[in-house]
Amino acid sequence: MIEALKTPEERFDTISNFPYKPLYIEALSGYENLRMHYINEGPKEAKFTFLCLHGQPTWCYLYRKMIPIFL
């Protein structure tokens, strides 16, 4: 089993300028007890998809000012 540190969910409660609903994938084969966070914004029938991947040590907050432009 992989050892990983998890940030408690409540640590994100006071973050401003990030109105996006957190979504998670928990069925990660080989990574039991871990989950991957993602956000999914915009209309489902949108013509384009913007897939934004961040590296270590950044996280999705990096894209908070770009997401409204993409929409």
pLDDT for 30-54, tens place per residue?
A: 888 888 899 999 999 999 999 999 9
**Is 34 within 8 Å of 2 (Cβ atoms)?**
yes
| pLDDT of residue 18 exceeding 80 | yes
Domain boundaries, the chain: 1-7+15-71
| pLDDT of residue 2 exceeding 80 | no
pLDDT value, residue 30: 83
pLDDT for 49-70, tens place per residue?
A: 999 999 888 889 999 999 999 9
**Is 38 within 8 Å of 24 (Cβ atoms)?**
yes
Please state the length of the chain.
71
SS3 of 25, please? Answer: strand
